[in-house]
Structure 1
């Protein structure tokens, strides 16, 4: 089991990165709430990971803190929720926001996430309510000093992408949104000089 990686961030293509550790480049997929915490390229960072082995692939999922990883692990234990859907859920809302949805029985917000129908949302709320009943949610601080809070866009140090709009649309599609839906959401929030991370964050917020 690979539980944590510390290395140099050499590639960023939301929601995936390549982290070089001791000469080995690990491909890792992150929920966007963790992706926003990443430093600039060629800087060192640490992420917590969850390793998934399938018949046709071995996949690494990364998280900015242990709280998000813990919630991811609880989500994939729910019937009908796999890693891809859990990733989509944590890309649309923070762990804290998800717990609030469960506490408030907020089906309307959950069903806006791609891949989550009404029945799945209701099952999520029922099963997660029991799992989170005694959860004292103390969000961990990021594991790297260079990480920043995802909601404070003005403080994020980002290198503008050559094609931020295209990168943002591709990322949203990979998270489960339809091409037309992703294109519409990105165009609605697009402003000059926005990075792909900013576009993704604002587009996701506009769809919830």
Structure 2
């Protein structure tokens, strides 16, 4: 089984590349995020790989990190999700956002991936939420709450109220969290009320 390759990138497209290893060119299917992280053509790259064998084909998939490969394996274990769809999902959002979406049952964000409808997004959350390790869930929670833990209780309450209000207005957990972070970065958190959090957040997202 081919699990890891180091070689020279000799060609690439929007969803794959050819890696020259020991005189042999390996065609690797990759997510857009992985391709964006790799060096230019004719430079050395290292990728984790997964060989998918079917009755009529053998395809090799490449990943910039072991974490991405692990999530790929989880996604392809979901009913109705093949390797091509899994790669498309991985290219739609960052790993942090993807893990957060699954942990928070954010089907709206997941449905933005090509070929993923609401029912499929719900199935991904249902089948993967408990399979994602405690470490992945913790990292997602820490990412969402980064910078909030040092706030006074009144500020945390205002932030939480604003998050709920933004989600009620139709924004996803990720969108609402990022907007609140932007408010804190641009306006600070001291003495901000929930209404002010909401107003500034909506303005940052173009909602006002």
Q: What is the TM-score normalised by the length of structure 2?
A: 0.64
**Separation (CA, whole Å) in 2 of partners of 1:13 and 1:111:** 25
- Structure 1's consecutive aligned runs of 4 or more residues displaced over 6 angstroms after TM superposition are none
Look up the match of 2:15.
15
Look up the match of 2:162.
none
Q: Which of structures 1 and 2 has the bigger CA Rg? A: 2
Residue 63 (structure 1) aligned with residue 63 (structure 2): yes
Look up the match of 1:3.
3
**Separation (CA, whole Å) in 1 of partners of 2:10 and 2:137:** 32
Look up the match of 1:204.
none
> How many residues in Structure 1 have an aligned counterpart in Structure 2?
139
**Separation (CA, whole Å) in 1 of partners of 2:76 and 2:135:** 17
* Structure 2 counterparts to residues 165-204 of structure 1, below 5 A: none
* Structure 2 counterparts to residues 19-58 of structure 1, below 5 A: 19-58=19-58
Look up the match of 1:126.
126
**Separation (CA, whole Å) in 2 of partners of 1:83 and 1:76:** 6
3-state SS of paired residue (2:129): helix
Shift of 1:34: 0.7
Look up the match of 1:110.
110
Q: What is the TM-score normalised by the length of structure 1?
A: 0.64
3-state SS of paired residue (1:130): coil
3-state SS of paired residue (1:113): coil
**Ranges in structure 2 where 5+ consecutive residues have no aligned partner:** 140-208
* Structure 2 counterparts to residues 116-155 of structure 1, below 5 A: 116-136=116-136
Look up the match of 1:76.
76
1:23–1:54 distance in 2 versus 1, CA, 3 Å: same
**Separation (CA, whole Å) in 2 of partners of 1:3 and 1:128:** 23
1:138–1:108 distance in 2 versus 1, CA, 3 Å: closer
Task: Assess if the C-alpha contact under 8 Å between 2:103 and 2:137 holds in 1.
Answer: no
Task: Assess if the C-alpha contact under 8 Å between 1:96 and 1:137 holds in 2.
Answer: no
Shift of 1:133: 4.7
Higher relative contact order (CA 8 A, sep 6+): 1
**Ranges in structure 1 where 5+ consecutive residues have no aligned partner:** 140-208
CA RMSD of aligned residues (A): 1.6
3-state SS of paired residue (1:73): helix
